Amino acid sequence: MITVTLNPDRRFHKLLLQNRHYNPLTGIWTHRIRSPGKIAGVNIGHDYIGVTLYGVCYRSARLAIFYMTGHWPKGLADHRNRIRNDDRYENLRDATPVINARNHGLYPNNTSGVNGVWLDKTTGKYRSSVKILLEGIRRNKNLGYFDTIEEATFARSRAIRKYFA
């Protein structure tokens, strides 16, 4: 008789499928065995949803990617629309820290209304920049000075396509 031992991820994936149900269209987790149909996710702070299985609480987004693919995300489980409790599968992606950092809203101190573009008070011109990885180190790449905010925004969007496409 041949015995096959599953690797820990495959064994855990099998247990997850047996004990929890994930609806990829809604992002909602429910119990399968204990209290069938009852919602399994709870708010664990900062609007993230947690799902507990065998006494361990997992972030819903990471668990959803694992549930759907059978593999844990290599990077971060990123919410495309930046809504932390929107765990629909179409809204989730396995992202590197750099990609995840680019997926953020405007900071409170932003005065131009555009990420990476600001008015340089010394020259009176708009300046634009983008962060890139150079030899494994994050560097700020200056894209130049521009007379209008539209020109600075266009330069930044062109640089994002060049460095991240």
Tokens coding 64: 């959803």
The Cα–Cα gap between 56 and 47 comes to: 19
Q: How far apart are the two ends of the chain, measured CA to CA in Å?
A: 52
Note the pLDDT of residue 97: 81
Other beta carbons within 10 Å of 158: 13
CA dist 132 and 157 (Å) reads: 13
* CATH code, 8-100: 3.90.75.20
Q: Are strands 76-79 and 92-95 parallel, antiparallel or unpaired?
A: antiparallel
pTM of the model: 0.71
CATH code of domain 106-164:
3.30.730
Tens-level pLDDT at each residue, the chain (165 residues): 555 455 678 899 999 999 999 999 999 999 999 899 999 989 999 999 999 998 899 999 999 999 999 999 999 999 999 899 999 999 999 988 877 777 777 888 888 889 889 999 999 999 999 988 777 787 889 999 999 999 999 999 999 888 876
C-beta atoms surrounding 93 within 10 Å: 18
Q: Residue ranges of the alpha helices (H) in 4-148?
A: 8-19, 60-69, 97-102
- Residue 164: per-residue pLDDT: 74
Q: What is the pLDDT of residue 99?
A: 78
Residue ranges of domains in the chain: 8-100, 106-164
For 29-45, b/e burial (b = at least 16 CB within 10 A) is: bbeeeeeeeeebbeeee
| Cα separation values, 43 from 8, 53, 115, 144, Å | 27, 15, 30, 44
Tokens for 153, please give them. 């925004």
Nearest to 64 by CA among 43, 54, 45, 79: 79
